[in-house]
Structure 1
Amino acid sequence: MPENSECIDGEEYPIDIWLLLAAYIRPEDVCRFSLICKNAWTATCTAAFWTRLYKRHYNLDADLPDRLQPDSVAKMRCLRARVIRSLFHLYEPFSLRVSKSPPLPESTPTTLLNSKCLLCWVNKVSGSRSELMWEFNFKFVKLPTKGKFTINVSTDMRHHRVRLDFQDSPVIRGKKFRGEQGVQVVLDPVHSVRLMDWWHPQYPTSSYN
Protein backbone atom coordinates (compact mmCIF):
# COMPACT_ATOMS: atom_id res chain seq x y z
CA MET A 1 0.00 0.00 0.00
CA PRO A 2 1.43 3.44 -0.88
CA GLU A 3 2.84 5.42 2.05
CA ASN A 4 0.47 8.37 1.74
CA SER A 5 -2.68 6.40 1.04
CA GLU A 6 -5.50 6.48 3.58
CA CYS A 7 -7.18 3.34 4.83
CA ILE A 8 -10.91 3.59 4.07
CA ASP A 9 -11.86 0.14 5.41
CA GLY A 10 -13.89 -0.11 8.59
CA GLU A 11 -16.56 1.99 10.21
CA GLU A 12 -16.63 4.34 13.18
CA TYR A 13 -19.40 3.58 15.65
CA PRO A 14 -20.95 6.22 17.93
CA ILE A 15 -19.97 6.45 21.59
CA ASP A 16 -23.39 5.09 22.64
CA ILE A 17 -22.51 1.71 21.11
CA TRP A 18 -19.25 1.52 23.06
CA LEU A 19 -21.00 2.52 26.30
CA LEU A 20 -23.44 -0.33 25.73
CA LEU A 21 -20.66 -2.85 25.04
CA ALA A 22 -18.67 -1.61 28.04
CA ALA A 23 -21.44 -2.82 30.35
CA TYR A 24 -20.42 -6.42 29.53
CA ILE A 25 -16.63 -6.10 29.87
CA ARG A 26 -14.91 -8.15 32.57
CA PRO A 27 -12.70 -6.15 34.95
CA GLU A 28 -9.54 -7.84 33.67
CA ASP A 29 -10.46 -6.84 30.09
CA VAL A 30 -10.97 -3.12 30.68
CA CYS A 31 -7.49 -2.21 29.42
CA ARG A 32 -7.83 -4.31 26.25
CA PHE A 33 -11.28 -2.87 25.58
CA SER A 34 -10.06 0.72 25.97
CA LEU A 35 -7.32 0.10 23.38
CA ILE A 36 -9.76 -0.83 20.61
CA CYS A 37 -10.37 2.76 19.56
CA LYS A 38 -10.76 6.29 20.91
CA ASN A 39 -14.50 5.91 21.56
CA ALA A 40 -13.94 2.68 23.50
CA TRP A 41 -11.35 4.48 25.63
CA THR A 42 -13.74 7.40 26.15
CA ALA A 43 -16.40 4.98 27.40
CA THR A 44 -14.04 3.69 30.09
CA CYS A 45 -13.39 7.27 31.25
CA THR A 46 -17.02 7.92 32.19
CA ALA A 47 -18.46 7.83 35.69
CA ALA A 48 -21.29 5.66 34.36
CA PHE A 49 -18.83 2.93 33.32
CA TRP A 50 -17.14 2.69 36.73
CA THR A 51 -20.42 3.00 38.65
CA ARG A 52 -21.98 0.14 36.67
CA LEU A 53 -18.84 -1.98 37.09
CA TYR A 54 -19.04 -1.50 40.86
CA LYS A 55 -22.76 -2.34 41.00
CA ARG A 56 -22.30 -5.47 38.88
CA HIS A 57 -19.93 -7.01 41.42
CA TYR A 58 -21.12 -5.52 44.70
CA ASN A 59 -22.92 -7.77 47.17
CA LEU A 60 -24.33 -7.05 50.62
CA ASP A 61 -22.23 -9.77 52.26
CA ALA A 62 -18.96 -8.23 51.12
CA ASP A 63 -16.55 -7.16 53.85
CA LEU A 64 -15.65 -3.70 52.56
CA PRO A 65 -14.05 -0.79 54.42
CA ASP A 66 -16.23 2.30 54.82
CA ARG A 67 -14.45 4.22 52.05
CA LEU A 68 -15.47 1.50 49.55
CA GLN A 69 -19.12 1.19 50.61
CA PRO A 70 -21.84 2.28 48.13
CA ASP A 71 -22.47 5.60 49.91
CA SER A 72 -18.82 6.60 49.56
CA VAL A 73 -18.54 5.43 45.96
CA ALA A 74 -21.73 7.35 45.07
CA LYS A 75 -19.99 10.62 46.00
CA MET A 76 -17.85 10.21 42.86
CA ARG A 77 -14.64 11.34 44.59
CA CYS A 78 -11.73 9.21 43.31
CA LEU A 79 -14.39 7.00 41.71
CA ARG A 80 -12.11 4.98 39.45
CA ALA A 81 -9.57 4.26 42.21
CA ARG A 82 -12.30 3.31 44.70
CA VAL A 83 -13.94 0.90 42.25
CA ILE A 84 -10.63 -0.75 41.40
CA ARG A 85 -9.82 -1.17 45.11
CA SER A 86 -13.32 -2.57 45.67
CA LEU A 87 -12.82 -5.20 42.99
CA PHE A 88 -9.93 -6.69 44.97
CA HIS A 89 -12.49 -7.40 47.69
CA LEU A 90 -15.52 -8.24 45.52
CA TYR A 91 -14.23 -9.88 42.33
CA GLU A 92 -12.96 -13.40 42.88
CA PRO A 93 -10.20 -13.48 40.21
CA PHE A 94 -8.72 -10.31 41.74
CA SER A 95 -9.12 -11.37 45.38
CA LEU A 96 -7.48 -14.71 44.56
CA ARG A 97 -4.55 -12.84 43.05
CA VAL A 98 -4.04 -11.10 46.39
CA SER A 99 -4.47 -14.27 48.46
CA LYS A 100 -1.90 -16.14 46.36
CA SER A 101 0.71 -13.39 46.71
CA PRO A 102 3.59 -14.05 49.13
CA PRO A 103 3.03 -12.59 52.58
CA LEU A 104 4.35 -9.12 53.25
CA PRO A 105 7.01 -7.95 53.89
CA GLU A 106 8.68 -11.16 52.61
CA SER A 107 7.65 -10.23 49.07
CA THR A 108 9.30 -6.80 49.25
CA PRO A 109 12.08 -6.46 46.66
CA THR A 110 15.36 -4.83 47.54
CA THR A 111 15.21 -2.50 44.54
CA LEU A 112 12.43 -0.69 42.68
CA LEU A 113 13.66 1.02 39.51
CA ASN A 114 11.93 3.44 37.14
CA SER A 115 8.89 4.10 39.29
CA LYS A 116 7.16 7.38 39.96
CA CYS A 117 6.39 8.54 43.49
CA LEU A 118 2.87 9.98 43.37
CA LEU A 119 2.43 10.78 47.03
CA CYS A 120 4.26 10.71 50.35
CA TRP A 121 2.90 11.25 53.83
CA VAL A 122 4.27 10.84 57.35
CA ASN A 123 2.48 9.75 60.54
CA LYS A 124 3.82 9.94 64.09
CA VAL A 125 3.43 6.45 65.53
CA SER A 126 4.81 6.71 69.07
CA GLY A 127 7.84 7.68 71.09
CA SER A 128 9.13 10.31 73.49
CA ARG A 129 11.03 13.46 72.54
CA SER A 130 14.27 11.52 72.67
CA GLU A 131 13.12 8.69 70.41
CA LEU A 132 10.32 9.44 68.00
CA MET A 133 8.74 6.76 65.79
CA TRP A 134 7.40 7.76 62.42
CA GLU A 135 5.56 5.93 59.66
CA PHE A 136 6.46 6.96 56.12
CA ASN A 137 4.09 6.01 53.33
CA PHE A 138 5.21 6.47 49.74
CA LYS A 139 2.73 5.91 46.94
CA PHE A 140 4.61 4.60 43.90
CA VAL A 141 3.27 3.65 40.49
CA LYS A 142 5.35 1.53 38.11
CA LEU A 143 6.08 3.78 35.16
CA PRO A 144 9.14 4.24 32.94
CA THR A 145 10.07 7.38 34.86
CA LYS A 146 12.08 9.00 37.54
CA GLY A 147 13.12 6.92 40.50
CA LYS A 148 15.03 4.22 42.32
CA PHE A 149 14.11 2.67 45.67
CA THR A 150 16.79 0.61 47.43
CA ILE A 151 16.76 -1.34 50.71
CA ASN A 152 19.90 -2.59 52.45
CA VAL A 153 21.30 -2.96 55.98
CA SER A 154 21.31 0.07 58.28
CA THR A 155 24.47 1.50 59.81
CA ASP A 156 23.62 -0.10 63.19
CA MET A 157 23.44 -3.51 61.41
CA ARG A 158 20.09 -4.24 63.09
CA HIS A 159 17.53 -2.56 60.85
CA HIS A 160 17.00 -1.41 57.27
CA ARG A 161 18.44 1.50 55.37
CA VAL A 162 16.13 2.88 52.67
CA ARG A 163 17.43 5.12 49.91
CA LEU A 164 15.15 6.98 47.50
CA ASP A 165 16.72 8.51 44.39
CA PHE A 166 14.69 10.89 42.25
CA GLN A 167 15.61 12.36 38.89
CA ASP A 168 13.83 13.99 35.96
CA SER A 169 14.48 11.34 33.32
CA PRO A 170 14.04 7.55 33.29
CA VAL A 171 16.93 5.15 33.50
CA ILE A 172 17.67 3.60 30.12
CA ARG A 173 18.04 -0.17 30.20
CA GLY A 174 21.69 -1.12 30.42
CA LYS A 175 22.72 2.31 31.69
CA LYS A 176 23.89 3.01 35.25
CA PHE A 177 21.62 5.03 37.53
CA ARG A 178 23.28 8.42 38.15
CA GLY A 179 22.11 9.34 41.64
CA GLU A 180 24.16 12.55 41.71
CA GLN A 181 21.99 13.99 38.94
CA GLY A 182 18.86 14.08 41.09
CA VAL A 183 17.71 14.25 44.71
CA GLN A 184 18.51 11.54 47.24
CA VAL A 185 16.56 10.80 50.44
CA VAL A 186 18.01 8.35 52.99
CA LEU A 187 16.01 6.89 55.89
CA ASP A 188 18.22 5.13 58.45
CA PRO A 189 17.37 3.22 60.55
CA VAL A 190 14.05 1.83 59.27
CA HIS A 191 12.38 -0.80 61.43
CA SER A 192 10.14 -2.35 58.76
CA VAL A 193 9.36 -1.97 55.08
CA ARG A 194 6.28 -3.00 53.17
CA LEU A 195 5.99 -2.44 49.44
CA MET A 196 2.65 -3.11 47.77
CA ASP A 197 0.49 -1.99 44.87
CA TRP A 198 -1.80 0.98 45.49
CA TRP A 199 -4.90 -1.17 44.95
CA HIS A 200 -3.85 -3.83 47.49
CA PRO A 201 -6.41 -4.20 50.36
CA GLN A 202 -3.61 -3.67 52.90
CA TYR A 203 -2.37 -0.45 51.30
CA PRO A 204 -2.80 2.43 53.79
CA THR A 205 -5.31 4.98 52.52
CA SER A 206 -7.22 7.89 53.94
CA SER A 207 -10.97 8.37 53.80
CA TYR A 208 -10.46 10.71 50.83
CA ASN A 209 -9.08 8.16 48.35
Structure 2
Amino acid sequence: MPGRMRKVYKTKQSFRSGGSGGVAYSDVTVYDYAHVDKPVAGCVRLKKGATVISQSQAKMLAIPQNAEGDLDWFEKDLDDFEIAEVDKGLEENGTADQSGLELTGNIKTVKTSKCSTQKAGNVYPLDIWYILSNYIQPEEISTFARLCHSAYTVVHSAHFWRQLYHRFFRVDISLPEALGPACVERCQGLRARVIQALYYLYPPFVSTCKLSRVFHDEPHQLEGKRCERCWYHHVSDNVWRFNFQLRTEGLGKRRLCYSNNGCVDLMNGYDDVFYNPLEGCCVLQVSCQNFMTHPMVMGLILTKVYLNVSQDMKHHKLRLVFDSQINAAQKGTLITQLVLDPVLNVRVFHWWDPQYHLVK
Protein backbone atom coordinates (compact mmCIF):
# COMPACT_ATOMS: atom_id res chain seq x y z
CA MET A 1 0.00 0.00 0.00
CA PRO A 2 1.61 3.30 -1.03
CA GLY A 3 0.24 5.21 1.96
CA ARG A 4 1.93 2.97 4.47
CA MET A 5 5.22 2.57 2.70
CA ARG A 6 8.14 3.69 4.77
CA LYS A 7 11.15 5.57 3.45
CA VAL A 8 14.22 3.48 2.90
CA TYR A 9 17.42 5.09 4.12
CA LYS A 10 20.61 4.02 2.49
CA THR A 11 23.45 3.09 4.78
CA LYS A 12 27.05 3.53 3.96
CA GLN A 13 28.63 0.24 2.89
CA SER A 14 32.12 -0.60 3.98
CA PHE A 15 34.27 -3.59 3.16
CA ARG A 16 36.74 -5.54 5.18
CA SER A 17 39.21 -7.87 3.55
CA GLY A 18 39.42 -11.37 4.98
CA GLY A 19 40.48 -14.64 3.45
CA SER A 20 39.92 -14.89 -0.24
CA GLY A 21 37.36 -12.11 -0.48
CA GLY A 22 35.78 -9.19 1.31
CA VAL A 23 32.78 -9.26 3.60
CA ALA A 24 30.37 -6.36 3.21
CA TYR A 25 28.57 -4.98 6.23
CA SER A 26 26.59 -1.84 7.03
CA ASP A 27 26.98 0.51 9.95
CA VAL A 28 24.21 0.75 12.51
CA THR A 29 22.36 4.05 12.06
CA VAL A 30 19.97 5.92 14.30
CA TYR A 31 17.08 5.05 11.96
CA ASP A 32 17.42 1.36 12.81
CA TYR A 33 16.28 2.25 16.33
CA ALA A 34 14.09 5.31 15.80
CA HIS A 35 11.67 3.58 13.35
CA VAL A 36 11.32 0.28 15.17
CA ASP A 37 7.78 -0.46 16.33
CA LYS A 38 7.07 -1.23 19.98
CA PRO A 39 7.30 -4.97 20.68
CA VAL A 40 4.04 -6.81 21.17
CA ALA A 41 3.67 -9.13 24.17
CA GLY A 42 4.74 -12.62 23.19
CA CYS A 43 6.39 -11.45 19.96
CA VAL A 44 10.18 -11.28 19.86
CA ARG A 45 10.64 -11.24 16.11
CA LEU A 46 13.20 -8.76 14.86
CA LYS A 47 12.65 -6.45 11.95
CA LYS A 48 14.25 -7.26 8.64
CA GLY A 49 16.70 -4.38 8.85
CA ALA A 50 17.99 -5.47 12.25
CA THR A 51 18.30 -9.08 11.08
CA VAL A 52 20.39 -8.09 8.06
CA ILE A 53 22.72 -6.05 10.24
CA SER A 54 23.16 -8.92 12.71
CA GLN A 55 23.96 -11.36 9.92
CA SER A 56 26.49 -9.02 8.35
CA GLN A 57 28.23 -8.48 11.67
CA ALA A 58 28.34 -12.21 12.29
CA LYS A 59 29.99 -12.73 8.91
CA MET A 60 32.52 -10.01 9.70
CA LEU A 61 33.52 -11.69 12.96
CA ALA A 62 33.69 -15.13 11.41
CA ILE A 63 37.19 -16.54 10.98
CA PRO A 64 37.94 -16.86 7.26
CA GLN A 65 39.86 -19.81 5.90
CA ASN A 66 43.44 -19.33 4.79
CA ALA A 67 44.09 -18.98 1.11
CA GLU A 68 46.47 -21.94 1.24
CA GLY A 69 43.60 -24.31 2.09
CA ASP A 70 44.73 -25.27 5.61
CA LEU A 71 42.51 -27.30 7.88
CA ASP A 72 39.89 -25.69 10.03
CA TRP A 73 40.68 -24.89 13.68
CA PHE A 74 38.57 -27.73 15.01
CA GLU A 75 39.94 -30.23 12.47
CA LYS A 76 43.56 -29.76 13.61
CA ASP A 77 45.31 -32.00 16.08
CA LEU A 78 47.16 -30.84 19.18
CA ASP A 79 50.50 -31.49 17.48
CA ASP A 80 49.73 -28.83 14.87
CA PHE A 81 49.97 -26.05 17.52
CA GLU A 82 53.11 -24.62 19.11
CA ILE A 83 52.68 -24.52 22.90
CA ALA A 84 55.23 -22.60 24.97
CA GLU A 85 56.86 -24.51 27.82
CA VAL A 86 55.57 -23.83 31.32
CA ASP A 87 57.68 -24.01 34.45
CA LYS A 88 57.20 -27.45 35.98
CA GLY A 89 57.45 -26.13 39.52
CA LEU A 90 54.62 -23.71 38.96
CA GLU A 91 52.60 -26.35 37.10
CA GLU A 92 52.75 -28.72 40.05
CA ASN A 93 51.46 -26.06 42.43
CA GLY A 94 48.64 -25.17 40.08
CA THR A 95 49.81 -21.57 39.70
CA ALA A 96 51.19 -21.64 36.21
CA ASP A 97 51.54 -18.30 34.49
CA GLN A 98 48.81 -18.21 31.86
CA SER A 99 50.62 -15.45 30.03
CA GLY A 100 53.25 -17.97 28.85
CA LEU A 101 50.64 -20.15 27.11
CA GLU A 102 50.46 -19.21 23.44
CA LEU A 103 48.82 -21.19 20.66
CA THR A 104 50.47 -20.35 17.36
CA GLY A 105 48.78 -21.49 14.18
CA ASN A 106 48.32 -20.29 10.66
CA ILE A 107 44.76 -19.31 11.38
CA LYS A 108 44.91 -17.31 14.61
CA THR A 109 47.09 -16.69 17.65
CA VAL A 110 45.32 -16.94 21.00
CA LYS A 111 46.76 -15.39 24.18
CA THR A 112 45.01 -15.95 27.46
CA SER A 113 44.67 -13.30 30.15
CA LYS A 114 47.78 -12.43 32.10
CA CYS A 115 47.72 -13.43 35.77
CA SER A 116 49.58 -11.56 38.43
CA THR A 117 52.62 -13.51 39.59
CA GLN A 118 54.42 -10.72 41.40
CA LYS A 119 56.56 -11.85 44.29
CA ALA A 120 55.43 -10.79 47.75
CA GLY A 121 57.52 -8.23 49.63
CA ASN A 122 59.85 -8.90 52.52
CA VAL A 123 58.39 -9.15 56.01
CA TYR A 124 60.75 -7.77 58.65
CA PRO A 125 60.56 -8.50 62.38
CA LEU A 126 58.64 -6.13 64.61
CA ASP A 127 61.81 -5.26 66.55
CA ILE A 128 63.28 -3.57 63.45
CA TRP A 129 60.26 -1.25 63.21
CA TYR A 130 60.64 -0.36 66.89
CA ILE A 131 64.27 0.63 66.21
CA LEU A 132 63.28 2.72 63.18
CA SER A 133 60.58 4.50 65.19
CA ASN A 134 63.29 6.09 67.35
CA TYR A 135 64.34 8.22 64.36
CA ILE A 136 60.85 9.38 63.30
CA GLN A 137 60.06 13.08 63.75
CA PRO A 138 56.69 14.01 65.33
CA GLU A 139 55.29 15.48 62.11
CA GLU A 140 56.13 12.25 60.22
CA ILE A 141 54.29 9.83 62.51
CA SER A 142 51.24 9.67 60.25
CA THR A 143 53.37 8.76 57.22
CA PHE A 144 55.31 6.16 59.20
CA ALA A 145 52.10 4.48 60.45
CA ARG A 146 50.85 4.01 56.86
CA LEU A 147 53.91 2.10 55.66
CA CYS A 148 52.77 -1.37 56.72
CA HIS A 149 50.86 -3.24 59.38
CA SER A 150 53.94 -3.59 61.60
CA ALA A 151 54.57 0.17 61.60
CA TYR A 152 50.90 0.74 62.40
CA THR A 153 51.21 -1.62 65.37
CA VAL A 154 54.29 0.21 66.66
CA VAL A 155 52.54 3.60 66.56
CA HIS A 156 49.64 2.17 68.58
CA SER A 157 51.90 0.93 71.37
CA ALA A 158 52.60 2.76 74.64
CA HIS A 159 56.36 2.17 74.23
CA PHE A 160 56.46 4.33 71.09
CA TRP A 161 54.86 7.37 72.77
CA ARG A 162 57.01 7.05 75.89
CA GLN A 163 60.17 7.00 73.78
CA LEU A 164 58.94 10.00 71.81
CA TYR A 165 58.37 11.96 75.03
CA HIS A 166 61.81 11.18 76.50
CA ARG A 167 63.57 12.05 73.23
CA PHE A 168 62.49 15.72 73.42
CA PHE A 169 62.13 16.14 77.17
CA ARG A 170 64.30 18.91 78.64
CA VAL A 171 64.72 19.76 82.29
CA ASP A 172 65.16 23.49 81.66
CA ILE A 173 61.68 23.80 80.10
CA SER A 174 58.86 24.15 82.58
CA LEU A 175 55.84 21.95 81.94
CA PRO A 176 52.43 21.81 83.59
CA GLU A 177 52.13 19.25 86.34
CA ALA A 178 49.78 17.13 84.24
CA LEU A 179 52.43 16.88 81.49
CA GLY A 180 55.43 16.06 83.68
CA PRO A 181 57.58 12.91 83.41
CA ALA A 182 55.16 11.05 85.68
CA CYS A 183 52.34 11.44 83.15
CA VAL A 184 53.84 8.88 80.76
CA GLU A 185 53.56 6.09 83.31
CA ARG A 186 49.79 5.86 82.83
CA CYS A 187 48.64 4.30 79.56
CA GLN A 188 45.18 5.83 79.36
CA GLY A 189 45.32 8.94 77.18
CA LEU A 190 49.10 8.69 76.75
CA ARG A 191 49.07 9.86 73.13
CA ALA A 192 47.09 13.04 73.93
CA ARG A 193 49.39 14.00 76.80
CA VAL A 194 52.54 13.46 74.71
CA ILE A 195 51.14 15.62 71.90
CA GLN A 196 50.33 18.41 74.34
CA ALA A 197 53.83 18.17 75.83
CA LEU A 198 55.44 18.39 72.39
CA TYR A 199 53.95 21.86 71.95
CA TYR A 200 56.14 22.89 74.90
CA LEU A 201 59.25 20.86 73.96
CA TYR A 202 59.44 20.49 70.16
CA PRO A 203 60.59 23.80 68.55
CA PRO A 204 58.66 23.46 65.24
CA PHE A 205 55.43 22.92 67.18
CA VAL A 206 56.21 25.76 69.59
CA SER A 207 56.65 28.22 66.72
CA THR A 208 53.20 27.43 65.32
CA CYS A 209 51.52 28.49 68.58
CA LYS A 210 53.23 31.88 68.82
CA LEU A 211 51.00 34.78 67.88
CA SER A 212 52.40 36.45 64.78
CA ARG A 213 49.77 39.03 63.83
CA VAL A 214 46.19 40.07 64.46
CA PHE A 215 43.53 37.90 62.79
CA HIS A 216 46.13 35.23 62.14
CA ASP A 217 43.68 32.38 62.79
CA GLU A 218 41.00 31.48 60.29
CA PRO A 219 37.53 31.13 61.89
CA HIS A 220 35.96 29.64 58.74
CA GLN A 221 37.57 26.28 59.51
CA LEU A 222 35.15 25.89 62.45
CA GLU A 223 32.07 25.48 60.27
CA GLY A 224 30.22 22.26 61.03
CA LYS A 225 31.19 22.11 64.73
CA ARG A 226 28.68 22.10 67.56
CA CYS A 227 28.82 24.73 70.31
CA GLU A 228 29.07 23.07 73.73
CA ARG A 229 29.33 26.14 75.93
CA CYS A 230 30.03 29.87 75.75
CA TRP A 231 31.23 32.47 78.26
CA TYR A 232 32.74 35.94 78.39
CA HIS A 233 34.97 37.98 80.69
CA HIS A 234 36.11 41.57 81.06
CA VAL A 235 39.80 42.10 80.22
CA SER A 236 40.19 45.89 80.46
CA ASP A 237 38.10 49.02 80.21
CA ASN A 238 37.41 48.71 76.51
CA VAL A 239 38.09 45.02 75.82
CA TRP A 240 35.66 42.14 76.29
CA ARG A 241 36.38 38.57 75.26
CA PHE A 242 33.67 36.15 74.15
CA ASN A 243 34.62 32.47 74.10
CA PHE A 244 32.83 29.61 72.34
CA GLN A 245 33.85 25.99 72.87
CA LEU A 246 33.15 23.94 69.74
CA ARG A 247 33.52 20.24 69.02
CA THR A 248 33.41 18.15 65.86
CA GLU A 249 30.44 15.81 65.76
CA GLY A 250 31.22 12.19 66.67
CA LEU A 251 34.70 12.82 68.12
CA GLY A 252 35.75 12.55 71.74
CA LYS A 253 33.06 10.04 72.69
CA ARG A 254 34.34 7.09 74.66
CA ARG A 255 33.41 3.70 73.23
CA LEU A 256 31.95 1.32 75.79
CA CYS A 257 32.84 -2.35 75.67
CA TYR A 258 30.77 -5.14 77.11
CA SER A 259 31.96 -8.21 78.95
CA ASN A 260 30.89 -11.77 78.22
CA ASN A 261 27.84 -11.54 80.49
CA GLY A 262 26.51 -8.48 78.63
CA CYS A 263 27.35 -5.88 81.29
CA VAL A 264 29.40 -2.75 80.66
CA ASP A 265 33.11 -3.33 81.35
CA LEU A 266 34.02 -0.51 83.75
CA MET A 267 37.73 -1.31 83.48
CA ASN A 268 37.70 -0.76 79.73
CA GLY A 269 39.76 2.22 78.56
CA TYR A 270 42.45 2.20 81.23
CA ASP A 271 44.89 0.74 78.71
CA ASP A 272 43.62 2.79 75.75
CA VAL A 273 46.59 4.81 74.55
CA PHE A 274 44.46 6.82 72.09
CA TYR A 275 41.80 7.81 74.63
CA ASN A 276 41.21 11.58 74.43
CA PRO A 277 38.06 13.24 75.80
CA LEU A 278 39.09 16.53 74.12
CA GLU A 279 39.35 15.07 70.62
CA GLY A 280 37.92 17.55 68.10
CA CYS A 281 37.56 20.39 70.65
CA CYS A 282 38.60 23.98 70.08
CA VAL A 283 37.83 27.43 71.53
CA LEU A 284 36.88 30.44 69.41
CA GLN A 285 37.93 33.60 71.24
CA VAL A 286 36.60 36.94 69.97
CA SER A 287 37.92 40.20 71.44
CA CYS A 288 35.43 43.07 71.17
CA GLN A 289 35.64 46.73 72.01
CA ASN A 290 32.27 46.89 73.77
CA PHE A 291 30.07 44.50 75.67
CA MET A 292 27.04 43.23 73.79
CA THR A 293 24.38 40.68 74.54
CA HIS A 294 24.00 37.68 72.25
CA PRO A 295 21.39 34.91 72.00
CA MET A 296 21.87 31.45 73.48
CA VAL A 297 23.70 29.21 71.01
CA MET A 298 24.72 26.24 73.16
CA GLY A 299 23.82 22.96 71.47
CA LEU A 300 23.58 24.53 68.00
CA ILE A 301 25.86 23.86 65.02
CA LEU A 302 27.97 26.61 63.48
CA THR A 303 27.03 26.57 59.79
CA LYS A 304 28.40 29.86 58.42
CA VAL A 305 31.07 32.38 59.45
CA TYR A 306 31.25 35.88 57.94
CA LEU A 307 34.19 38.16 58.78
CA ASN A 308 33.84 41.56 57.14
CA VAL A 309 34.94 45.14 57.65
CA SER A 310 32.88 47.10 60.15
CA GLN A 311 30.80 50.10 59.20
CA ASP A 312 33.33 52.57 60.60
CA MET A 313 36.05 51.01 58.38
CA LYS A 314 38.37 50.77 61.41
CA HIS A 315 37.48 47.39 62.84
CA HIS A 316 36.00 44.07 61.77
CA LYS A 317 32.54 42.61 62.12
CA LEU A 318 31.99 38.91 62.83
CA ARG A 319 28.67 37.22 62.06
CA LEU A 320 28.12 33.64 63.21
CA VAL A 321 25.16 31.63 61.90
CA PHE A 322 24.05 28.72 64.10
CA ASP A 323 21.54 26.09 63.10
CA SER A 324 20.01 23.02 64.69
CA GLN A 325 21.02 20.96 61.63
CA ILE A 326 24.15 20.95 59.50
CA ASN A 327 22.06 21.27 56.34
CA ALA A 328 20.31 24.62 56.70
CA ALA A 329 18.01 23.88 53.75
CA GLN A 330 15.97 21.40 55.77
CA LYS A 331 12.58 22.53 56.96
CA GLY A 332 11.90 23.06 60.62
CA THR A 333 15.44 24.10 61.54
CA LEU A 334 16.21 26.79 64.10
CA ILE A 335 18.54 29.45 62.69
CA THR A 336 20.23 31.86 65.10
CA GLN A 337 22.55 34.68 64.07
CA LEU A 338 25.14 36.21 66.39
CA VAL A 339 26.74 39.51 65.38
CA LEU A 340 29.84 40.89 67.12
CA ASP A 341 30.86 44.41 66.14
CA PRO A 342 33.41 45.99 66.49
CA VAL A 343 35.90 43.09 66.70
CA LEU A 344 39.53 43.67 67.65
CA ASN A 345 40.92 40.15 67.22
CA VAL A 346 39.87 36.55 66.58
CA ARG A 347 41.79 33.56 67.96
CA VAL A 348 41.26 29.80 67.61
CA PHE A 349 42.78 27.46 70.23
CA HIS A 350 42.77 23.72 69.53
CA TRP A 351 42.93 21.11 72.29
CA TRP A 352 46.70 20.65 71.89
CA ASP A 353 47.48 24.38 72.11
CA PRO A 354 49.10 25.45 75.43
CA GLN A 355 46.69 28.40 75.58
CA TYR A 356 43.64 26.12 75.40
CA HIS A 357 43.57 25.40 79.15
CA LEU A 358 44.43 29.00 80.01
CA VAL A 359 41.33 30.46 78.41
CA LYS A 360 39.01 31.58 81.20
Partner of 2:203: 92
Kindly indicate whether the alpha-carbon contact (under 8 Å) linking 2:219 and 2:346 is maintained by their aligned counterparts in 1.
Answer: no
Kindly indicate whether the alpha-carbon contact (under 8 Å) linking 2:227 and 2:244 is maintained by their aligned counterparts in 1.
Answer: no
Distance 1:45 1:118 in 2: 29
Distance 1:9 1:68 in 2: 44
Q: 1:138 aligns with which of 228, 246, 251?
A: 246
Partner of 1:40: 151
Alignment of 1:34-183 (within 5 A): 34-99=145-210, 102-103=212-213, 106-112=215-221, 117=225, 120-123=228-231, 125=233, 135-140=243-248, 141=280, 148-152=303-307, 160-164=318-322, 179-181=328-330
Deviation at 1:66, TM superposition (A): 2.3
Kindly indicate whether the alpha-carbon contact (under 8 Å) linking 1:149 and 1:165 is maintained by their aligned counterparts in 2.
Answer: no
Distance 2:153 2:130 in 1: 9
Q: Which moved more, 1:14-23 or 1:83-92?
A: 14-23
Structure 1 pair 205–117 and aligned structure 2 pair: CA distance change class (3 A) = farther
- Count of matched residue pairs: 185
Once the two structures are superposed, residues 13-38 of structure 1 have per-residue CA deviations (whole angstroms, 9 ceiling, x without a partner) of 23332122212212122122111111
Partner of 1:195: 348
TM-score (norm 1): 0.66
Partner of 1:130: none
Where structure 2 has 5 or more consecutive residues not aligned to the other structure, the ranges are: 1-98, 100-112, 235-240, 249-279, 281-300
Kindly indicate whether the alpha-carbon contact (under 8 Å) linking 1:64 and 1:89 is maintained by their aligned counterparts in 2.
Answer: yes
Equivalent AA in structure 2 for residue 109 of structure 1: E
Equivalent AA in structure 2 for residue 20 of structure 1: I
Using CA pairs under 8 Å that are at least 6 residues apart, name the structure with larger relative contact order, 1 or 2.
Answer: 1
Equivalent AA in structure 2 for residue 111 of structure 1: H
Partner of 1:204: 357
Where structure 1 has 5 or more consecutive residues not aligned to the other structure, the ranges are: 127-132, 169-177
Distance 1:33 1:138 in 2: 30
Partner of 2:270: none
Question: For the pair shown, which has the larger CA radius of gyration, 1 or 2?
Answer: 2
Matched, 1:25 2:116: no
Distance 2:215 2:140 in 1: 30
Partner of 1:14: 125
Kindly indicate whether the alpha-carbon contact (under 8 Å) linking 2:226 and 2:302 is maintained by their aligned counterparts in 1.
Answer: no
CA RMSD of aligned residues (A): 4.0
Equivalent AA in structure 2 for residue 95 of structure 1: V
Deviation at 1:84, TM superposition (A): 1.2
Distance 1:53 1:198 in 2: 20
